[in-house]
Structures are given as C-alpha cells and as structure tokens.
Amino acid sequence: MSNLLDLTSQGDVATISDESKLAQVVLMTPQQLYELWERQPWQSHTIDFTQDREDWAALSDEDKDHIVWFLSSFFIGEERVATQFNGLVGAYESQSEEHFLTTQQVDEARHAQHFNNFYTQVVGYDGSFEQRLDRAREDLNDSFKVLFDDVLVDANRRLLAAPGDIEAKVDFVTTYHMVIEGTLALTGQDTLTRVFEERGILPGFLEGFRRISQDEHRHVAYGTWFLQQKAKDPALARRIQKTLAELIPIAAGVLTPRGYDIGEEYEILGVRSDEVHGFAFQALTRRLKVIGVSLVPAEDEAVPA
C-alpha cells in the first residue's frame, strides 16, 4: 500500500518510514507552499486527448460505466470546492496564508476544466459546461450529495458569516482538506492512476490527473499544517475528532459504487473494496498522527466504520 507521506516533491510532508517520528514532522508553511505553487504551473487546455479517444472507443461498456462513476465524483467535486472555498480565503490569518489559499481556489477551477475537457473530447457529453455537470450528477449517490451539497456548503456559509470564527475554520479545513481531499480525492486518484497505468490507456487524462494530484498534495499539506497548529488547543483537537467521527461514515458512502450498500464488498476495474478503503484509512490516519490527533473522539469511543 502506498505511503501517502512520501510526497516531498509534491509539497507535502517529508518521507517518514518510522511511525513514531510522524508527530515530529516539520511541515511546509503557507509561504513555502505558495512558492511551490509558482514552481509547478500547468495548463489544462494544452493536453492532447487524441490517444484517449481511441482508448475510450476500445473499452467495454462496463469499464466505461465504472470509469464514468469515478470521474463524475471528481468532476462534481472539483466544481463544488471551487465554488465553496471563498469563506476560507476570507478567513486568512496572515498575508502568506491568504496568498496560498487564493491559489487553491484557482487550482480547483483548473481541475474542473480538465474534467470538462475530458468529458467533452473523450466521453462525448455534448452541451454546455453546466449541462455536463448536470449529467455527471446523475451518477452520484446520496452520501456524496450530503457531503458536498450540505456539509461543505454549510461549512463555507459559516465562515462567510464569521471569518474570525476559529471553530468554523477548523471545521471547514477538517471537512475539506482531511476528508474530501486528503481521504477521498487522493484515494480515487491512486485507484484510477494505477488502473490506467497498468492498462496503458488514457495518457492525456493521466497527464492532467497527475498534475491535479500534485496540486492537491499542496492543498492537503496546508490543511495538515493548519490543523497541527490548532490541535495544540485541546478543545480544538476534540472538535477535529468530533467532525471526523461525523464525516467518516458519510465518506465511506461516497466511496461505495452504485448498486452496492455501504460496507458491502465489491470489485470494479480490477480493484477490490478492501484496497480502496484501506488506502483511504491509511491516508487519513497517518496525517492525523502528524497533526497530533487520533481517530478516537473521546474516552476510547470508537469512530463508526
């Protein structure tokens, strides 16, 4: 299983092989992450999908269906976070943090553009950008809608109403950076990248996807840094745990494909459910060790599976 802390080149925490040393990791600051963003530019509209169209035409209907399910989650997810991020930008506590946070919102818009280009040029969804988003929404389950349309939107509204509310900011960063990006997005990226690389297909999509992953490692690095600072306050540490306890069952539902119940075993595109959920769990728990927070909310009360 991949080590999600082995992300030095993408701007995350340093490579750590000893679990006991995770809490002593020195994280990149918002200023350093902003400077890294300047060194890692890319353009979504310059990617060539010629080979992708040939590869897509050769895929079975079942594989296309499974891939579209994965991609719809990303397409809608990128649109959601791009439009529900302005509250955090306005809640900055330093100029460096403000500058880095603005790069995140730009990144999310660029990611949505990449998926829109792929849906237009390869999958073949006609119409406007908005119509493609509406069509992709048809593939989403209720858990996805709860997390992205209810929880994330509410967290953003709270910050817009009170930018100085540190509890609201901790809630947003826990929701967005730890669960949505640090758990769900990185898990989906790992799964699809491995599948496409092993099959040698969709090189244009993979080019953009790797760039997106690079961007999101910076984003998660910021969230890890921020929560590590705030978790020094025991009350805020407990708040992070409480938020995670509420969101983990929802996240498990997001990772569940159409036609399956939460907790039911499945295999799609040659990847088993235990691999997907195992990667997601490790992605979250190892970062929480860096932050200094466990998944156990209080008094050894287990977090729901």
Can you give the CATH number for the domain in which 141 is found? 1.10.620.20
Listed residue (103, 208, 223, 131) closest to 169, CA to CA: 223
Query: The domain containing residue 243 runs over which residues?
Result: 26-39+48-291
Residue 300 lies in a domain: no
**Does 10 reside within a domain?**
no
* Domain annotation covers residue 299: no
pLDDT in tens, the chain (305 residues): 333 333 222 334 433 344 455 556 789 999 999 999 999 999 999 999 999 999 999 999 999 999 999 999 999 999 999 999 999 999 999 999 999 999 999 999 999 999 999 999 999 999 999 999 999 999 899 999 999 999 999 999 999 999 999 999 999 999 999 999 999 999 999 999 999 999 999 999 999 999 999 999 999 999 999 999 999 999 999 999 999 999 999 999 999 887 888 888 999 899 999 999 999 999 899 999 999 998 765 454 443 33
Whether residue 261 is contained in a domain is answered as yes
Domain annotation covers residue 219: yes
Q: Is residue 162 part of a domain?
A: yes
pTM: 0.88
DSSP per-residue string spanning 144-169 = HHIIIIIIHHHHHHHHHH-TT-HHHH
User: Does any domain span residue 303?
Assistant: no
How many domains does one find in the chain?
Answer: 1
**Helix or strand holding residue 248 (H, E):** helix 234-254
Q: With 0-12 CB in 10 A as exposed, 13-18 as middle and 19+ as buried, what is 18? A: exposed
Is position 224 within any domain? yes
Please name the amino acid found at residue 260: Y
